[in-house]
C-alpha cells in the first residue's frame, strides 16, 4: 500500500500531538486538549460543528476545503486547525498547489488559527519518454518550491485581524508543536509566547516572498482592465482558459484550482474582482449556475466577484476575436497556444479587448 501524502501528514500531526501533551501534563491541561483527526477523509469534509474539519465562508455560506486535523479545547472550541500537504515532493511544481488555498483560509476568516504545513522546498521524480523508460536512466528529479501566491494570500488574510492563516515548513522542527502549546496556555490565561511565535512565522513567510509579485510572469494576469468607454474597471485581473468540459467533465474538473486562484485575487485587496472566462459563453455560465458545484457557486455568489465570459468581451481586432472563438473546444493541455494567450493579455492591457459593464 502506498504511503500517501495524507497518511504521512496525519502521522506527523499525531506525533506533534504526543509532544504537546507531554508539555501540558505539568499543568494538567493535557486532558482538556482534544485532537480531532480521522483516517477516512470523508469525515473531514463535515462542518466543524457537525464533527468534521471544514468551515463555511461567512459571506457566501459556501463550505470551503476540509482540513486534516484540528486541536480543540474540550472537544468543541477550535484552537488550531491544520491542513497538510507534501505536494512539493509529489509533482506539484506550480499552480496545482493553489488547490489548497481554501482549506486554512476557511479557518482564518472564521477567526481561528489555520495552519498549512508543507515542505517549502521539495524534489519529485519525473519520467521522460514512454512507459518502457520508467526504470531507465531517463528518470530525473525536478525541484519544486512553495507557491508564492499561496503565501501571499495567507499574509493578506492574516492581516485582516480576524484569524490567522499561517504556513509552516513541514521540516521546521517544533514550530507547530510550540504554536499549539502556547495557544492552549493563552486560552487558559497562563503565561505564553503565542503572539511571538505567530509573529515569527509571519516574518518567515514575508521573507520568503521578498520582492515577489503574484502573477508577474503569468500570461493570464491583466494589469489593467478597461470598460467600454475606455474607463479603467480594475487592476491585476486574471482571465481563465477553462471551457465547459474542463469544469464539468469528471476527468478534467478544474474547479478546485480555479477556486484557489480566485481566492488569491479576492484577498489581494478589498476591491471588486473580475473573473473572465474567455472560452465560456453566457449559455455556459447559465448552465454552470444550475449545477451544484461548490467552487463555481462561490464565484457566482460572492458579491465582490464579477464573472464575465466571451459574450462580455468587446474586441477591436476581429481576427483576434475569431482566434479566441476557434479555441473554444480545443485541448489546451496538448497545445497551450502560448502566443495567442500573450496576444490576449496584451490586448486586454492596451484596451483592445474591453469588458461590457
Lowest mean pLDDT across 86-95, 154-163, 319-328? 86-95
Which of 79-83, 145-149, 166-170, 275-279 is predicted least confidently?
A: 145-149
pLDDT of 109 over the 90 cut: yes
Q: Report the SS3 class of residue 333.
A: coil
Give the CA dihedral 58, 61, 65, 70, nearest 10 degrees. 60
* Residue 344 · residue 278 · CB < 8 Å: yes
294-310 mean pLDDT: 91
On whether the CB atoms of residues 82 and 112 are closer than 8 A, the answer is no
Please report the pLDDT score of residue 139 as a whole number: 63
Highest mean pLDDT among 160-164, 165-169, 267-271: 165-169
- Read off the C-alpha cell for 9: 501528514
- Give the Cα separation of 142 and 124 in Å (integer): 5
Q: Which residues contact 79 (CB under 8 A, 6 or more apart)?
A: 33, 70, 71, 72, 73, 112, 113, 180, 183, 184, 187
pLDDT of residue 127: 63
The pLDDT score that the predictor gives to residue 260 is 83
Determine the pLDDT at residue 131: 45
251 versus 185: the higher-pLDDT residue is 185
Measured CA to CA, the distance from residue 70 to residue 239 in angstroms comes to: 35
292-295 own/partner pairs: CB under 8 Å, 24+ apart: 293/247, 293/255, 294/62, 294/63, 294/255, 294/259, 295/255, 295/256, 295/258, 295/259
In the predicted model, is pLDDT for residue 226 greater than 70? yes
**Per mean pLDDT, which range of 7-16, 211-220, 319-328 is the poorest?**
211-220
| Confidence check: pLDDT of 253 > 90 | no
Alpha carbons 119 and 123: distance in angstroms, whole number: 10
Mean pLDDT of 107-112: 96
Residue 12 has pLDDT above 80, yes or no: yes
* Residue 1 pLDDT > 50: no
Q: What is the pLDDT of residue 104?
A: 95
* pLDDT tens sequence across 176-188: 999 999 999 999 9
Closest C-alpha among 256, 316, 247, 244 to residue 282: 244
Q: Does residue 93 contact residue 58 with C-beta atoms inside 8 Å?
A: no
- At 250, the pLDDT band (50, 70, 90 cuts) reads low
The alpha carbon torsion through 23, 24, 25, 31 (nearest 10 deg) reads -140
Q: How confident is the model at residue 282 (pLDDT cuts 50, 70, 90)?
A: very high
Beta-strand pair 313-315/273-277: unpaired
Cα separation, 338 vs 344, whole angstroms: 10
- For residues 156 and 269, give the distance between their C-alpha atoms in angstroms, rounded to a whole number: 8
Q: What's the whole-number mean pLDDT along residues 59-80?
A: 93
pLDDT at 251 exceeding the cut of 70: no
pTM, full prediction: 0.86
The answer to whether residue 134 scores a pLDDT higher than 60 is: no
Amino acid at each position: 500500500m502506498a504511503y500517501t501524502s495524507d497518511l504521512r501528514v496525519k502521522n506527523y500531526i499525531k506525533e506533534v500531538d504526543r509532544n504537546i501533551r507531554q508539555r501540558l501534563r505539568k499543568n494538567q491541561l493535557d486532558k482538556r486538549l482534544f485532537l480531532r483527526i480521522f483516517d477516512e477523509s470523508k469525515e473531514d469534509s463535515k462542518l466543524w460543528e457537525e464533527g468534521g474539519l471544514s468551515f463555511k465562508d461567512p459571506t457566501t455560506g459556501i463550505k470551503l476545503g476540509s482540513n486534516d486535523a484540528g486541536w480543540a479545547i474540550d472537544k468543541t472550541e477550535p484552537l488550531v486547525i491544520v491542513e497538510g500537504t507534501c505536494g512539493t515532493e509529489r509533482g506539484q511544481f506550480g499552480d496545482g498547489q493553489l488547490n489548497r488555498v481554501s482549506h486554512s483560509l476557511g479557518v482564518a476568516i472564521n477567526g481561528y488559527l489555520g495552519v498549512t504545513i508543507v515542505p517549502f522546498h521539495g524534489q519529485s521524480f519525473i519520467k521522460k519518454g514512454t512507459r518502457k523508460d520508467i526504470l531507465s536512466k531517463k528518470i530525473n528529479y525536478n525541484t519544486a518550491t512553495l507557491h508564492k501566491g499561496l503565501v501571499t494570500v495567507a499574509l493578506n488574510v492574516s492581516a485582516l485581524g480576524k484569524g490567522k492563516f499561517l504556513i509552516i515548513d513541514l521540516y521546521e522542527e517544533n514550530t507547530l508543536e510550540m504554536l499549539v502549546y502556547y495557544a492552549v496556555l493563552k486560552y487558559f490565561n497562563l503565561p505564553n509566547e503565542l503572539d511571538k511565535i505567530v509573529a515569527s512565522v509571519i516574518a518567515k513567510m514575508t521573507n520568503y516572498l521578498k520582492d515577489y509579485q503574484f502573477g508577474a510572469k503569468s500570461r493570464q494576469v491583466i494589469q489593467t482592465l478597461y470598460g467600454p468607454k475606455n474607463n479603467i474597471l480594475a487592476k491585476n485581473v486574471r482571465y481563465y482558459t477553462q471551457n465547459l468540459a474542463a469544469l464539468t467533465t469528471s476527468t478534467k474538473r478544474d474547479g478546485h484550482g480555479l477556486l484557489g486562484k480566485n481566492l488569491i485575487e479576492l484577498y489581494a485587496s478589498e476591491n471588486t474582482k473580475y473573473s473572465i472566462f474567455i472560452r465560456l459563453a453566457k449559455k455556459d455560465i447559465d448552465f454552470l449556475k444550475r449545477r451544484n458545484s461548490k467552487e463555481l457557486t462561490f464565484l457566482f455568489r460572492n458579491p465582490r466577484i464579477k464573472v464575465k465570459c466571451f459574450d462580455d468581451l468587446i474586441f477591436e481586432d476581429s481576427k483576434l476575436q475569431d482566434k479566441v472563438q476557434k479555441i473554444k473546444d480545443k485541448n489546451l493541455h496538448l497545445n497551450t497556444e502560448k502566443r495567442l494567450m500573450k496576444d490576449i493579455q496584451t490586448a486586454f492591457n492596451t484596451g483592445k479587448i474591453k469588458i461590457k459593464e
